[in-house]
Every structure is written in C-alpha cells, then in structure tokens.
Structure 1
C-alpha cells in the first residue's frame, strides 16, 4: 500500500528507506465504499489523501444545482479541498468514492509536524503543489479555449480506461457539456475512425 506512495513522491525527491518510513508513519489507511462521501460541501477539510486504489470524483454544485466535476482521482492521485485545508474555511467541494476505494490520509497537524521535523518534506509538497497548479491551469485553459471534441479526447488520454467505469453524465459533467452532446461527440469520433 505504501509502495505506490513511495513511487509517487520519488518523482520529486529522494528519500532513504528510514526517511520514507518517518514520512509515511502519520498516514492512516481509510477505506471508502462506493458512493461514500469523503468530504461534503460546507464541511471543513482536515486531510490530504493519497488514493491507493479506487476512484473518486471531486465536484461542486453550480448555481443551477448541477454537478460540475473538477477532476477524477484514481490510484496515485491526491484528494483534498486545498482552499479549505489551508485556509480553514468551509469546503465548496464534495469528494465522493465512485467505487470501493482506499486512501492514505494525513491531517494538517501531522503534515505541519513533518515540515518541522523533516525539512525536505516542505520542499516535496511545494513541488507537488506547483505541479498541481500547472494541472489546474491546463484544465482551465482546456475548458475555456478548446472545443468539446478536443476536451473529450484529452479526457481519454488523461484517464485511460476510466470511461468504462463512469456514467455518461459523469463524463459530460467533467467536460462541461450535456450528456446528449457527449453522445454526438462519441458518434462523430467513431465515424472518423
């Protein structure tokens, strides 16, 4: 279970076995059933979670009450509401398991303790947050500057194989389109092959 976490952070920093054991010690494994809510909008987010297995959707309800999916988190991804976690404000996001899933979770207090006792951890999370900001910027640019067809193809590339586990409504919500329009895009792409 910690192997995937080690592989993930090793992309950004090098740790000895002992250092990694100290880093991993405060993480607690939590199991979530399909449709179980990890974080509900309006609650405070007191964790950052590393997905070991399964899949989550991270979303908010727009002004019309429709679900807008920001991202899907699969094994090797992190889940949190960073704004709520850092600024201690109520979350606007909901995080829900789309299938039975396992997450390694760390509290803000434990994370802050790691920063003090293991200074390289602060650099690690800074680099990871920078990568997250890049991904968010790319997501915004995609939503505002690309056609729905291109966003769909990007989705398929970013989340290979995930579409089979999602409803058409969930994919459409992620793309910012209706499920009817998604059907048209799929048909068009199939005809082009």
Structure 2
C-alpha cells in the first residue's frame, strides 16, 4: 500500500527508509465504496488523499445544477480541495468515489508537522501544488480554446484506459458537453479511423 506512495514522492524528493517511515506514519488508509462522497460542497476540506486503488471524480455543480468534472483521480493521484484546505473556506467542490477505492489520507495538521520534522516534504508539496496549478491552467485553456473533438482526444491520452471504467455521462461532464454530443464525437472518430 505504501509502495505506490513512495514511488510517487520519489519523483520529487529522496527519503531514506527511516525518513519515509516518518513521512508515511501520519497517513491513514481509508476505504470508500462506489458513490461514497469524500467531500461535499459546503464542507471544509481537512485532508489530502493519495489514491491507492480505485477512481474518484472531483467536480462542482454549475449555475444550472449540472455537474462539471474538473478531473478524475486514479491510482497514484492526489485528491483534495486546495482552496478549502489552505484558506479554511467552505468547499465548492465535491469528491466522489466512482469505484470501491482506498486512499491514504493525511490531515492538514499532520502535514504541517511533517514540514517541521522533514523539511524536504515542504519541497515535495510545493512541487506538487505547482504541477497541480499547471494542470488546471492547461485544463482551463483546453475547455475554453479547443473543440470538443480535441478535448475528447486529449482525455484519451491523459487517462489511458479510463474510458472503460467510466460511463458516457461522466466523460461528457469532464469534456463540458452532453452525453448525446459525446456519442456523435465517438461515432465520427470511429468512422474516421475505419476509413484509414
């Protein structure tokens, strides 16, 4: 269970075995069933979670009450609402398990204690937050500047194999389109590929 976490953080910082044990100690393994809500709009986010297994969607409800998915979090991804966590404000996001899942959770206080005990963890989370900001910027640019066809193709590249784990409505929510329009895009791409 901690092997995936160690592999993930080793991309950014090097920890000895003893340091990694100290790093991993405050994480608690939590199990979630499909459709369990980890964070609901209006609640306060008090955690960061590392997905060990399963899949989550991180979304909000737009003015029309429709879901708009920001991202999917699979094995090796992190889940949280940074705005709520950092600024102690009510969340506008919802985090829901799409499959039976396991997450290693760390509280804000335990994370801050790690900063004192293992100063390199501050570098780790700084880099991760920077990468998250870049990913969200790219996501906004994609939603505002690319066609639905291109967004769908980007989705297939960004999340290989995930299409088989999601329903059409979930993918459409991520792309910012209706599931009917997604069907047309899939059909068009399939026909184009068949003609090659």
Q: TM > 0.5 between the two?
A: yes
- Aligned residue number for residue 120 of structure 2: 120
In structure 2, what is the Cα distance between the partners aligned to 1:129 and 1:110?
17
- Aligned residue number for residue 27 of structure 1: 27
TM (norm. structure 1) is 0.99
1:79 positional shift: 0.2
CA deviation profile, 1:140-190 (whole Å, cap 9, x unmatched)? 111111110010000011111111111111100000011111011000000
User: In structure 2, the residue corresponding to 1:50 is in which secondary structure?
Assistant: strand
User: In structure 1, the residue corresponding to 2:72 is in which secondary structure?
Assistant: strand
Structure 2: runs of 5+ lacking an equivalent: none
In structure 2, what is the Cα distance between the partners aligned to 1:124 and 1:34?
30
TM (norm. structure 2) is 0.97
Structure 2 matches for 1:44-193, cutoff 5 A? 44-193=44-193
User: In structure 2, the residue corresponding to 1:92 is in which secondary structure?
Assistant: coil
In structure 2, what is the Cα distance between the partners aligned to 1:60 and 1:2?
30
User: In structure 2, the residue corresponding to 1:31 is in which secondary structure?
Assistant: strand
* Runs of 4+, deviation exceeding 2 Å: none
CA deviation profile, 1:6-25 (whole Å, cap 9, x unmatched)? 00001111111111111000
In structure 1, what is the Cα distance between the partners aligned to 2:12 and 2:18?
17
In structure 1, what is the Cα distance between the partners aligned to 2:22 and 2:131?
24
CA deviation profile, 1:118-151 (whole Å, cap 9, x unmatched)? 1111011101111111111111111111110010
CA deviation profile, 1:13-44 (whole Å, cap 9, x unmatched)? 11111111110000000000000000010000
In structure 2, what is the Cα distance between the partners aligned to 1:185 and 1:30?
38
Structure 1: runs of 5+ lacking an equivalent: none
